[in-house]
Amino acid sequence: MFDAAKLKAIVGEDWVVTDRSQMERYLVDETYTGLIMQPADDVIVVKPVNAEEISRIMKLANEDGFFVYPRGGGTGVCAGAIPTRSGVVLSLERLDKVLEVDRENLMAVAEAGVTLAQLLEAVEAEDLLFPPHPGDEGAQVGGMVACNAGGTRAVKYGVVRNYVKGLEVVLPTGEVVVMGGKLLKNNTGLDLMHLLIDSEGILGIITKVIFRLYPKFAGPATLVVSFDDRHSAIRSVPRILQSGVIPMAIEYVDRELMEDTARYLGTNWPVTKGNAHLIVIVTGTTEDDVYEQCQTVSDVCESNGAVDTLIAESREEQAHILHIRSEESMTYKAELAEILDVTVPPATVGDMMDAVEKLASHYATKIPMVAHAGDGNFHPHLMAELKERGLDKEVKRRIYAKAIELGGVISGEHGIGKTRLGEIDMCLDAKSLELMRGLKQLFDPNGVLSPDSAIR
Ligand SMILES: Cc1cc2nc3c(=O)[nH]c(=O)nc-3n(C[C@H](O)[C@H](O)[C@H](O)COP(=O)(O)OP(=O)(O)OC[C@H]3O[C@@H](n4cnc5c(N)ncnc54)[C@H](O)[C@@H]3O)c2cc1C
């Protein structure tokens, strides 16, 4: 059991919250309405300022036997940061410094509690680029690494894992370990750093991250390509990639969903033709390069049935389109049970969407869909009414089964957290699960860090 006095002795009186009314925002995250988990009654929030304090807290957790829940920006969508058992919420918010933007090595060093917005500001001030962009800039650097966040830019630039070069981590047993460095090559021993990336807070607390950066690109330009039907839109995706253009993002959206979202936001979706859209974002080395890529994408789509293409070049116009796209999950929030995160081989996204559409019609429900179509990651929206009819789990499992049949997985970017634990063994074999449990036991012999998350 935790002792508030001992925790105050480590972090200082002001950085321990014991009053429930002051800790509400630490007890929730952005998990979808239908999956929200109840936090335990007996919880305390501590806000250490550095790895050394975190190390002392973890040693105390092992001695006194209490659970610790690392918390970043609280933007996770599968309840990973929610303290469902009595214990300590360990907020990283005071580790909030961008320590260095190193132009010579093209690297940034940031403490774990730096938000994506802060990181982007620091990097852009040096005219450099940190390419990944998961949708909520309130996410913290440590949380993005712990979840290996993805986002729309993954087609060209990959996910957060591709940018992590070094980590400082406090292990569950309290030792501080440095993994990697400002290195582009490192084959020295087993790669513990990549094990920590996407460990969802169960193998260690990330306190510092070294990210690789790139020079800023020209552009970008955003195309909204309209098709009469989804099949033509999805069929165009591999054709775009085969043309030699690798866009930063290729997103599939239903026009109806974008119009609903725009209405919800009090604005207009700028495209009126076609029912199915691809949002394609291209970047290049020069403006001419960007223009040529736009032309190629437009030609490829036209020969695959596109009925219209809008090319947005001004910052405002592009921001407007992306704002509507990134807010879509808010439109139906009250009516949503859950948004799934299945990923399939990119060329099978169309088959996956057909299967989901069939299920929607079989269960007489609507399942709105958006897809990071260029990387096969796809978010069917299950509505609350399905849950009210007691059918949400059945539909979810059928969607998962189809994804797995196509060679896919149940989560591509959001992770397992607590909400997908029930289905993890649908796509991981018994031996893999056993190895994962063994690693957890090795890192955290007393099981104090983030119980009931990521593996079971
Ligand atoms: C509007 C919206 C859009 C989103 N879009 C995307 C998207 O496009 N792509 C995508 O991948 N995700 C997306 N997300 C999900 C979310 O932003 C990411 O998962 C993000 O990486 C979570 O970071 P966080 O700091 O908020 O973590 P939290 O929610 O605080 O925590 C998430 C998990 O990470 C662990 N954790 C947090 N910090 C640390 C640390 N320092 N050390 C160890 N473990 C830690 C927690 O224990 C928890 O298990 C979106 C969320 C929202 C609300």
Q: Is the pLDDT of residue 313 over 90?
A: no
Q: Which of 49, 97, 136 to mutate to test the pocket of ligand 1 (most atoms within 8 A of CB)?
A: 136
pLDDT band for 169, please (50, 70, 90 cuts). very high
Q: Is the CB of 197 under 6 A from ligand 1?
A: no
pLDDT band for 327, please (50, 70, 90 cuts). confident
Domain shared by 131 and 196, yes or no: yes
Q: Is the pLDDT of residue 162 over 90?
A: yes
User: Greater confidence, 335 or 198?
Assistant: 198
pLDDT digits (tens, 9 = 90+) for 174-213: 999 999 999 999 999 999 999 999 999 999 999 999 999 9
Structure tokens belonging to residue 436? 């994962």
Task: Write the residue with the smallest CA distance to atom 37 of ligand 1.
Answer: 143
pLDDT digits (tens, 9 = 90+) for 418-450: 999 999 999 999 999 999 999 999 999 999 999
Say what the pLDDT of residue 114 is: 98
Say what the pLDDT of residue 240 is: 96
Q: Is the CB of 80 under 6 A from ligand 1?
A: yes
Task: Write the residue with the smallest CA distance to atom 13 of ligand 1.
Answer: 134
Q: Is the CB of 200 under 6 A from ligand 1?
A: yes
Residue 392 CA to ligand 1 centre (angstroms): 24
Q: Is the CB of 159 under 6 A from ligand 1?
A: no
Residue 364 CA to ligand 1 centre (angstroms): 33
Residue 124 CA to ligand 1 centre (angstroms): 22
438 lies in some domain: no
Helix (H) or strand (E) holding 147: helix 141-147
Domain shared by 103 and 199, yes or no: yes
Over range 407-417, report the average pLDDT: 97
> What distance in Å separates the CA atoms of residue 119 and residue 121, rounded to the nearest whole number?
5
Q: Is the pLDDT of residue 331 over 90?
A: no
317 lies in some domain: yes
Over range 354-379, report the average pLDDT: 93
Say what the pLDDT of residue 369 is: 86
Domain shared by 371 and 311, yes or no: no
Q: Is the CB of 206 under 6 A from ligand 1?
A: yes
Q: Is the CB of 172 under 6 A from ligand 1?
A: no
445 lies in some domain: no
Are 69 and 201 contacting, i.e. CB atoms less than 8 angstroms apart?
A: yes
User: Residue 69 contacts by C-beta under 8 Å, 6 or more apart in sequence?
Assistant: 81, 82, 83, 87, 88, 89, 90, 201, 450
78 lies in some domain: yes
Say what the pLDDT of residue 456 is: 83
Say what the pLDDT of residue 151 is: 85
Task: Among 283, 311, 326, give the residue marking a domain's end.
Answer: 326
Over range 147-153, report the average pLDDT: 91
Residue 152 CA to ligand 1 centre (angstroms): 15
User: Greater confidence, 219 or 373?
Assistant: 373
Q: Is the pLDDT of residue 135 over 90?
A: no
Domain shared by 319 and 228, yes or no: yes
- CATH number of residue 249's parent domain: 3.30.70.2190
- CATH number of residue 64's parent domain: 3.30.43.10
pLDDT band for 61, please (50, 70, 90 cuts). very high
pLDDT digits (tens, 9 = 90+) for 81-104: 999 999 999 999 999 999 999 999
Is omega for the bond preceding 131 within 30 degrees of 0, making it cis? no
User: Measured from the CA of 145, which atom of ligand 1 is nearest?
Assistant: 21
Q: Is the pLDDT of residue 241 over 90?
A: yes
Domain shared by 128 and 71, yes or no: no
> What distance in Å separates the CA atoms of residue 112 and residue 164, rounded to the nearest whole number?
12
pLDDT band for 326, please (50, 70, 90 cuts). confident
pLDDT band for 377, please (50, 70, 90 cuts). very high
Coil, strand or helix at 26: helix
Task: Among 181, 215, 249, give the residue marking a domain's end.
Answer: 215
User: Highest-confidence range of 53-57, 148-152, 320-324, by mean pLDDT?
Assistant: 53-57
Task: Among 59, 91, 123, give the residue marking a domain's end.
Answer: 91
Considering the chain, what percentage of its residues have pLDDT values greater than 70?
A: 100
> Which residue from 35, 32, 108 is spatially nearest to 75, judged by alpha carbons?
32
Over range 299-323, report the average pLDDT: 93
Q: Is the pLDDT of residue 49 over 90?
A: yes
Residue 387 CA to ligand 1 centre (angstroms): 25
pLDDT digits (tens, 9 = 90+) for 262-310: 999 999 999 999 999 999 999 998 989 999 999 999 999 999 999 999 9
* Boundaries of domain holding 185: 98-215
Domain shared by 297 and 367, yes or no: no
Domain shared by 19 and 116, yes or no: no
449 lies in some domain: no
- CATH number of residue 153's parent domain: 3.30.465.10
Residue 27 CA to ligand 1 centre (angstroms): 14
Domain shared by 136 and 205, yes or no: yes
Q: Which residues pair with 68 in a beta bridge?
A: 88, 449
Q: Is the pLDDT of residue 364 over 80?
A: yes
451 lies in some domain: no
User: Residue 315 contacts by C-beta under 8 Å, 6 or more apart in sequence?
Assistant: none
182 lies in some domain: yes
User: Measured from the CA of 92, which atom of ligand 1 is nearest?
Assistant: 41
Domain shared by 72 and 149, yes or no: no
Residue 11 CA to ligand 1 centre (angstroms): 25
Domain shared by 17 and 48, yes or no: yes
> What distance in Å separates the CA atoms of residue 68 and residue 70, rounded to the nearest whole number?
6
Domain shared by 358 and 423, yes or no: yes
Q: Please give the tally of structural domains in the chain.
A: 4
CA–centroid distance for 389 within its chain: 29
Say what the pLDDT of residue 238 is: 93
Q: Is the CB of 325 under 6 A from ligand 1?
A: no
pLDDT band for 261, please (50, 70, 90 cuts). very high
Domain shared by 107 and 145, yes or no: yes
User: Measured from the CA of 80, which atom of ligand 1 is nearest?
Assistant: 49
Q: Is the pLDDT of residue 75 over 80?
A: yes
- CATH number of residue 371's parent domain: 3.30.70.2740
Task: Write the residue with the smallest CA distance to atom 4 of ligand 1.
Answer: 135
452 lies in some domain: no
Residue 295 CA to ligand 1 centre (angstroms): 36
Q: Is the pLDDT of residue 455 over 80?
A: yes
> What distance in Å separates the CA atoms of residue 382 and residue 396, rounded to the nearest whole number?
8
Q: Is the pLDDT of residue 218 over 80?
A: no
Instruction: Please state, rounded to an integer, the average pLDDT across all residues of the chain.
Output: 95
Task: Write the residue with the smallest CA distance to atom 46 of ligand 1.
Answer: 81
Over range 348-374, report the average pLDDT: 93
User: Measured from the CA of 115, which atom of ligand 1 is nearest?
Assistant: 25
